[in-house]
Amino acid sequence: MAEEPTTTTLVTPEKLPSPSLTPPEVSESTQDALPTETETLEKVTETNPPETADTTTKPEEETAAEHHPPTVTETETASTEKQEVKDEASQKEVAEEKKSMIPQNLGSFKEESSKLSDLSNSEKKSLDELKHLVREALDNHQFTNTPEEVKIWGIPLLEDDRSDVVLLKFLRARDFKVKDSFAMLKNTIKWRKEFKIDELVEEDLVDDLDKVVFMHGHDREGHPVCYNVYGEFQNKELYNKTFSDEEKRKHFLRTRIQFLERSIRKLDFSSGGVSTIFQVNDMKNSPGLGKKELRSATKQAVELLQDNYPEFVFKQAFINVPWWYLVFYTVIGPFMTPRSKSKLVFAGPSRSAETLFKYISPEQVPVQYGGLSVDPCDCNPDFSLEDSASEITVKPGTKQTVEIIIYEKCELVWEIRVTGWEVSYKAEFVPEEKDAYTVVIQKPRKMRPSDEPVLTHSFKVNELGKVLLTVDNPTSKKKKLVYRFNVKPL
């Protein structure tokens, strides 16, 4: 007996809803099992359904302006293609990840609230004591030899609630030990003056590291995301230009601190605001710890960050993790606090996109990491970071069909991708009229990993009907299908 389809139906507005501010549940399973018997499951969720016809007489202009958004149905059926065996490269990749036992998450972590009203009584007491010490230091010019205003990250100390959020970072970095927090604050202010941070922020420094470190989009909770791409240093010319002598390493450090300072000043230090960053570290083709110049520069940078930029990292995600990094982690792991460990997330090459999607919506993830977002310099007139995407897990040996029902004449534009492809994809338009012919928009195409990562199509709909986007997964691995669409009325 043929397997019954699994269907999810929802009504989608012209612009899909904004990403949820709550992270999705983390699934530890690596592969869904194929169904072994016939099962039927229908999940129907309807939000904002198309309005029923109104019998009241309306002016002709108002009736003409009515607009009905399309309805989307996602259907799962058995794959119609012959089951394929994993190729040798896939088998080797999965085997390597199992062998290295890459940890996915090292503990639960809930970011401490930046709302001052959420502080416990003991935390409020510590904050008040630290503020008292800061006030005395300001009055006695302990931070500077002149009565000038003292700022950190552009925020004057003790001027408003933003200063309290800054001081909380120093308190949390020192487990709310007031004297230790004050000492750290004094040292940071001294270092910032010696390093001339405020002048550095305004300098026009030149570097070639825009592909090594860059900010792109936000996570599901609104944290800006910073990407560190270590594999870029495999380029010998770039590596030597950055690390070959002490002067170049100093310049590298200055450019990184300038980048960090400018990023921090865009954060929201108000009570309850987002004042931390989500960091993604791409370990693919990373030179590793064997490069002494890189190791020296990294060690110096890490020490400066630990001493002078407390509590700015919400979470650290390491993707495309190689085996040698786990050896490194095994060495440093015992010296890390449980709280620090809980901020870390690891993913091997085959699970990097899936792991990122748990924390960052696909439309916010760059194309090179499995998402839909292109570089701001590239042209994508049809979609932006604000156009949210939908995700579907295509189980092994199954077929997913996205059915977009059209209620009016329009132009439908969509983007679709399956990370790593190895699936078959087709698109067609089925008119509502019984005797009308189905229009093939994209004939069945076997997509390979080397094919373009994102497909973009458009179709002008001149009659009522539905657009069907079908992805057939004949492999023994589950796949992540991501798509989004926009409607342009004709």
3-state secondary structure 121-164: HHHHHHHHHHHHHHHHHHHCCCCCCCCCCCEECCEECCCCHHHH
How is residue 202 written in tokens? 């305004």
User: Do 109 and 315 contact (CB within 8 A), yes or no?
Assistant: yes
DSSP letter at 211 equals T
- List the structure tokens of 254: 């200055």
Is the distance from CB of 285 to CB of 239 less than 8 angstroms?
no
Is 457 in a helix, a strand, or coil? strand
* CA distance linking residue 20 with residue 360, whole number of Å: 10
Tokens found for residue 47: 């939000």
pLDDT at residue 109 in the model: 57
Contact 263, 224 (CB under 8 A): yes
Terminal alpha carbon distance of the chain: 44
pLDDT, residue 14, reads 39
Domain ranges of the chain: 116-195, 204-369, 390-489
Tokens of 67: 């607009």
CATH topology of domain 390-489: Jelly Rolls (2.60.120)
Nearest C-alpha neighbor of 224 from the set 164, 169, 264: 264
Going by C-alpha positions, the residue among 104, 185, 94, 206 that lies closest to residue 142 is 185
**H helices within 32-75, ranges in order?**
60-64
Backbone angles phi, psi at 115, to 5 degrees: -80, 125
What pLDDT was estimated at residue 112? 82
Cβ neighbour number for residue 141 with a 10 Å cutoff: 12
116-195 maps to which CATH number? 1.10.8.20
Q: Tokens 């839909």: give the residue.
A: 372
What Rg value do the Cα atoms of the chain yield, rounded? 27
d(CA 406, CA 462): 10
Asked if 259 contacts 210 with a C-beta cutoff of 8 angstroms, the reply is no
Check residue 69 and give its pLDDT: 82
Q: Dihedrals φ, ψ of 488, to 5°? A: -115, 105
Backbone angles phi, psi at 235, to 5 degrees: -70, 110
Between CA 63 and CA 10 the distance in angstroms is 25
The rounded distance, in Å, linking the Cα atoms of 107 and 219 is: 19
CATH node for 204-369: 3.40.525.10
Q: Are 255 and 246 in contact (CB under 8 A)?
A: no
- The most distant pair of C-alpha atoms in the chain lies apart, rounded to whole Å, by 88
Q: What is the pLDDT of residue 294?
A: 85
Cα angle: 36, vertex 39, 44; to 5 degrees? 140
Cβ neighbours for 187, distance < 8 A, ≥ 6 positions apart:
307, 308
Q: Residue 155 corresponds to which amino acid? A: I
Sign of the CA dihedral with 359 first, then 380, 417, and 346 last: negative
Residue 92's pLDDT is 53
Beta strands across the sheet bearing 465-473: 41-44, 6-11, 71-78, 398-406, 465-473, 423-431, 439-447
Of the candidates 289, 309, 307, 285, the one whose C-alpha atom is nearest the C-alpha of residue 297 is 289
d(CA 357, CA 285): 22
Closest CA to 193 of 243, 141, 245: 141
* Distance of alpha carbon 12 from alpha carbon 9, whole angstroms: 9
pLDDT on residue 459: 97
Give pLDDT tens digits along the chain (490 positions).
444 444 444 333 333 333 333 333 333 333 333 333 333 333 333 334 444 444 444 444 444 456 678 888 888 888 887 665 444 445 555 455 444 455 555 555 567 888 889 999 999 999 999 999 999 999 998 888 767 789 999 999 999 999 999 999 999 999 999 999 999 999 999 999 999 999 999 999 988 899 999 999 999 999 999 999 999 999 999 999 999 999 999 999 999 999 999 999 999 999 999 999 999 999 999 887 678 888 888 888 989 999 999 999 999 999 999 877 767 677 776 767 777 788 899 998 989 999 999 999 999 999 999 999 987 556 678 898 889 999 999 999 999 999 999 999 999 999 999 988 999 999 999 999 989 999 999 999 999 999 999 999 999 999 999 999 999 999 999 999 999 999 998 8
Measure Cα distances from 440 to 86, 170, 300, 459 in Å: 30, 61, 59, 11
Residue 371 sits at the vertex; the CA angle it makes with 367 and 373, to the nearest 5 degrees, is: 60
Residue that has been written with the tokens 């970011």 in this structure:
111
